[in-house]
Each structure stands twice: as C-alpha cells, then as structure tokens.
Amino acid sequence: MFEFPQINKSSVKNDLLSGLTVALALVPEAVAFAFVAGVEPMVGLYAAFMVGLITAVFGGRPGMISGATGAMAVVMVSLVSEHGIQYLFAAVLLAGLVQVLFGIFRLGKFIRMVPHSVMIGFVNGLAIVIFLAQLGQFKVKNSAGELEWLQGTPLYIMLALVLLTMLIIHFLPKLTSVVPSTLAAIVVVTLLAYFIPALEARTVVDFLRGMTGDAGATVAGSLPTFAIPAVPFSMETLAIILPYSLILAAVGLIESLLTLTVVDEMTGTRGRANKECVAQGTANMVNGVFGGMGGCAMIGQSMININSGGRGRLSGITAAITLLAFILFASGLIEIVPIAALVGVMFIVVLGTFEWASFKMMRKVPKQDAFVIILVSAVTVLTDLAIAVLVGVIVSALIFAWEHAKHIHAVSSLSDDQKEKTYRVNGPLFFGSVSNFLELFDVKSDPRCVIVDFAGSRVVDHSAIEAISVLTGRYAKEGKKVHIRHLSRDCRKLLHKAGVLVEINVIEDPTYKVVSDTLS
C-alpha cells in the first residue's frame, strides 16, 4: 500500500512547506463544516487530521488533500439532529466499510464513465461554491444576533488584507520560489495584523467563537480517543443509519475520485482510483471509532497543495500532523491568523480552479456539451456534488443515445427476379434506435422473401433483440419470411429463447457479446 518514491531535498522542502500551508487553511474549513453538521468543532478537526493522514499515507493519489468536507456535512445534518452524534459515528463507520468494499471489488474504474463536460461543470460549480462560502466571512453578528454585511472601516480593512494576500500569492513566485507564496502571504498578513492592533482584523479564534457563541472557544484539544459508537446493535439501528451511510459513501467517493482526476490532469500523472477508495473508506472507519465526522478529498486544499509545490505523500502527512500539533500544542499560533488571509488564499484557489477556458470552449464544442457544462455547474451550486454529477452523467448518456439513434439507416435492393429484397442495415441497433429501425422496412410492399443483413450494424442490447422479434412478427402476419445474416451467436440464442420465427444464416454470423440481463 505504501510507496517509497525517489525524493530529493527540494521535493522534501516543497512538501513540508506546502503541507504547513494546507494545515493553516484546514482549520477554519473543518470548524465551519462541523458547524454545518451540527457537531462540536473538535469533531471536525479530528476528522481533518485522521482522514488527511490516512489518505496521505495509503491513498492512490499522492499530493491530494482530504479532510472534513461540506458535501458530506450537509448529509449529516438531519441524522445528528434526529438521533444524535453517536449515530453519526456509526453511519460514518458503515460508510467507510462500503467505500472499502467499493475499492476491493475494483469499482473505482467507473469514474472513467464521467464525461469531460461533466468534469468541467463539476470544477466550475465547485469553484463557485468555494467562492460563495468565503462571502460568509464578510458578515458579522449584530446586537440582535443576526448576521449582517461588514460596512465602513471594518469592510475596507478586510478587503485590503484579502487583496494583499492575493497580490503576494500572485507576484512572489516571480521573485523567488524558496518559500510557497501562499505560506508567505499568510505569514505576512498575520504579522501585519498582530503588530498593528488598530487594524482589528478578525482572526481564526474570532471566527470560532462567532460560530459557537462561546466566548472561551478555542482550537486547543487532546488526542482523539477510541470508542465504539454508543448505539444499539440492532436491525432498527441499521435501518436508521444505512441510508445515510450509502449517501455519505457515494458523495465521498464521487468527490474524491473527481478530485483525483483533476489533480491527475494538473500534474500530468495518474492516480489509482481503487486504492483511493480503500484509503478513504479506511479513514472513515477510523473516524467512526475515534470521534471524527468523516470526510473525503478536498479540491480547494488540494489546489493549495499543488500550487504550493506539494506533490508527494509527505505534503499530506505534514498537513495532517501539523494540524494535530496546532490542536495539541500551538493553538495560540493558529488562532491569531486573520480570516482575511485565508479568504484571500481561497479566492486564489477559486481563480485557479475555475475553467476560464470553458467560456471560449463552449463556442466550439457541440451545444449539447455546452449545455451539460452549464447544467452541472448550476446543479452543483444549487444542490450538491453527487446529484450534479449524477444528473450530468444521465443527461450526457441520453444525449449520446439520442444522437446515435439518428445514425441507423438501411440500403435496400431487389433481386433480379423481384422475389427477394435485401436490407443492409448500418448503424448501432439499441434501445434508442429501435423506433427508427422498425420504420426502415416496407412490410406490406416487400416480396415474400426478405433478407436483413447486419454486417454494417451491431446489435447492442435486449431492446434490439425485441425490435428484431417485432419486425419478424410483422412480416409473419403478412405471410412473409425473414432471413437474417451476420447476427452474433448470443443474439441467435436470445431470439431462439424468445420464440422468434426467423431463419438465420449461421455461416456468415460474427461473434460478439450483446448487453443483456439474460447473458450477464
């Protein structure tokens, strides 16, 4: 499971510094997602540490960062509110088991079925979601406890620090690459806010206390402890947690595998999807017994890591261990980091994640693909990632079927004596094209002997077999006989089982499999 790649001093330095940078960005994210799920902040921080460490060591994509995520947190809300946090731990444990089985049975390869247009929509939608999430940092609670937008001097200070962070990240690499520009920006803005109290910049601890309503809230804590979820081991408990576990497993794997694909494209390498499934599942199972809320890959933090130079497993390991160090020993350091610095980092992530070229691309690609890109982006923003990807794949499949259904046609010819007619079918015969296929034949006017030649076609599924059966039935009612050429052995077996009265030329028939419930 663990690889020992060839490394050098430069890669070690890059991984260590990028890991430290990612750790700084993980804290407010983990706290925010814990709040979304309705659990204590430490539950989110524990999850970020455990998921991040295990997937960094055993995952199939070095350099990818995992932790507590909003996509999974949203699913947890009703479970926690209705049944309590112990049921959440049980659900996360079961979700992890499902993910491990998914990887063991090598089902991660199905991520290849996600079309490129869906991938672009996913990336753009997620970039918009990350951007919108940062806007919440520009709000504060008023005397009535309601959130309102910053105004006046506090707003200008916030905007100035965000802009300063972004400028440092953008321009520093043009001067030096000794230190990741993201880390340098966070340090500079933190020192500026610390030594100039008049700026009154909101910090991580201010954010935490605002989220919890506890004036004494802190990110300081202890090591996570082992505990079996305190729920009854019964079928009733299973009935409660199973739906949540399946959704959590699906959302986690979809986001992780899509993020893996994005990182693959950025680095020009290839990750191992099935191995990542096992690692994600193992991490969530550990979360279930060590008091974490579970998680999956995080595209925002992964982009920070890659852009900061992190490529190896050491970057993810460093991020996780540094986060734990903050919790155990150095909470004071992380608590003084201005929220504006982290918002600036995430705005840079948004700019780097969004596929700006997709605007130009949509004028060149087919309109159907442009529609899918916009649809997936919109659904990602309005609902969640899993639904968006599912909708995108389904719509893409339907468009594909519709377009290919138009390709079927036939060339007909009569024999010299006018007693025999041959139809040479071209194009795939499947569920989407059966209606067009049946319209190709002139049953009433054809002679008594009809030959249907599938040399230029391919029978794809059981709907195609049924169409052939319907066609032969129509000719039989007219007292005419159909001969079929170039049909595969599997198709012949299905036709025979269906009781189709048709003569098939066995000698010229090819051999290929037809997609059918009977044969699978």
Pairing mode of beta strands 449-459, 481-485? parallel
**Predicted pLDDT of residue 498:** 57
Q: What single-letter amino acid sits at 89?
A: F
CA distances from 91 to 101, 240, 247 (A): 15, 9, 10
How many angstroms separate the CA atoms of 34 and 126, rounded? 19
**Predicted pLDDT of residue 514:** 56
Rg (CA), the chain: 29
297: helix, strand or coil? strand
503: helix, strand or coil? strand
How many angstroms separate the CA atoms of 2 and 314, rounded? 12
**Predicted pLDDT of residue 506:** 46
| pLDDT per residue as tens, the chain (520 positions) | 445 444 556 688 899 999 999 998 888 888 888 878 888 889 999 999 999 999 999 999 999 999 998 888 888 988 999 999 999 999 999 999 999 999 999 988 787 788 888 888 988 988 898 888 888 889 888 777 788 898 999 999 999 999 999 999 999 988 887 888 888 999 999 999 999 988 888 888 888 887 777 777 788 889 999 999 999 999 999 999 999 999 899 889 988 998 999 899 888 888 899 999 999 999 999 999 999 999 999 988 999 999 888 989 999 999 999 999 999 998 888 889 899 998 998 898 888 888 888 888 888 888 888 999 999 999 988 887 778 888 998 999 888 888 888 889 999 999 888 889 999 999 888 888 999 999 999 999 999 999 999 888 888 888 888 888 888 889 989 988 888 888 777 666 666 665 655 555 544 555 555 555 444 3
385, 251 Cβ separation under 8 angstroms = yes
52, 318 Cβ separation under 8 angstroms = no
**Predicted pLDDT of residue 502:** 55
200, 340 Cβ separation under 8 angstroms = no
295, 47 Cβ separation under 8 angstroms = yes
373, 143 Cβ separation under 8 angstroms = no
409 burial level (CB within 10 Å; 0-12, 13-18, 19+)? middle
How many angstroms separate the CA atoms of 331 and 325, rounded? 8
224, 43 Cβ separation under 8 angstroms = no
**Predicted pLDDT of residue 507:** 42
Which residue blocks in 196-294 are alpha helix, DSSP H?
204-212, 235-267, 273-290
Strand blocks (E) in 294-408: 296-297
Nearest of 288, 308, 312, 292 to residue 300 by alpha carbon: 308
What is this structure's pTM?
A: 0.77
Token pair in block for residue 375:
């649809």
Within 8 A by CB and 6+ apart from 234, the residues are none
190, 27 Cβ separation under 8 angstroms = no
**Predicted pLDDT of residue 500:** 56
How many angstroms separate the CA atoms of 164 and 176, rounded? 17
Token pair in block for residue 512:
């290929």
Q: Please count the other Cβ atoms lying within 10 Å of the Cβ belonging to residue 367.
A: 9
Q: What is the 3-state secondary structure (H, E, C) of 27-91?
A: HHHHHHHHHHHCCCHHHHHHHHHHHHHHHHHHCCCCCCCEECCHHHHHHHHHHHHHHCHHHHHHH
Token pair in block for residue 420:
């025999």
Nearest of 325, 393, 284, 372 to residue 55 by alpha carbon: 284
380: helix, strand or coil? helix
**Predicted pLDDT of residue 511:** 58
C-alpha torsion 206→209→213→217, nearest 10: -150
466 burial level (CB within 10 Å; 0-12, 13-18, 19+)? middle
Nearest of 65, 1, 36 to residue 311 by alpha carbon: 65
Token pair in block for residue 193:
């806010």
